[in-house]
Amino acid sequence: MEGAEEELERRSKFLNSLIQKKKANEEQEQKECLNVRVGASDMPLAHQNRAFRCARDSLDSMPKLDTMSLALSLKKEFDSFYGPAWHCIVGTSFGSYVTHSLGGFLYFSIDKVYILLFKTAVEPLGQ
């Protein structure tokens, strides 16, 4: 019986590795389709994909690049879905050094536009 359990465990690990590889390939294909390159991130993949899709949709709806509108669109999207205190910087050239909440940082480019999206902690005002 012990051999059967080991074989089942081995097969389970093998199938899990195939699933992980397939997910990784699908995510890479989606990034290539959206023309996204991630510079740095500690954000969950689901959040990253929401940012990529929102940025792509916003850019596609603009006749020419409007960095303020794109930044506002991403900030509003993330504030409404993931709570307040999201910040967004958009441009073709900028420098930054920010402090962010754990799991709330994404720096990426889409086409030739660079986007920094990050979350900060919100402290309630003292009474």
User: What number of CA atoms fall less than 13 Å from residue 122's CA on the CB side?
Assistant: 11
Percent of the chain with pLDDT over 70: 91
Predicted local distance difference test score (pLDDT) of residue 36 = 92
**pTM recorded for the entire structure:** 0.73
Question: Among residues 86, 48, 55, 82, which one has the least CA distance to residue 69?
Answer: 55
Predicted local distance difference test score (pLDDT) of residue 30 = 61
Whether residue 93 is predicted with pLDDT greater than 80 in this model: the reply is: yes
**The residue type at 69:** S
DSSP category for residue 62: -
Rounded (5°) CA angle 73-50-34: 95
123 confidence band (pLDDT: 50, 70, 90): confident
Q: What six digits make up the tokens of 71?
A: 């930044």
Give the integer Cα–Cα distance in Å for 82 and 88. 14
Contacts of residue 103, Cβ cutoff 8 Å, sequence gap at least 6? 42, 43, 44, 47
Q: pLDDT (tens digit, 9 = 90+) per residue, 22-36?
A: 776 666 656 666 789
Q: pLDDT (tens digit, 9 = 90+) per residue, 17-76?
A: 777 777 766 666 566 667 899 999 999 999 999 999 999 999 999 999 999 999 999 999
CATH of domain 37-127: 3.30.740.10
| Ramachandran quadrant class, 33 (left: phi over 0; alpha: psi -120 to 50; beta: rest) | alpha
What average pLDDT score do residues 88-109 get? 93
Sign of the CA dihedral running 24, 38, 63, 67: positive
Q: List the chain domain ranges.
A: 1-34, 37-127
What average pLDDT score do residues 104-126 get? 91
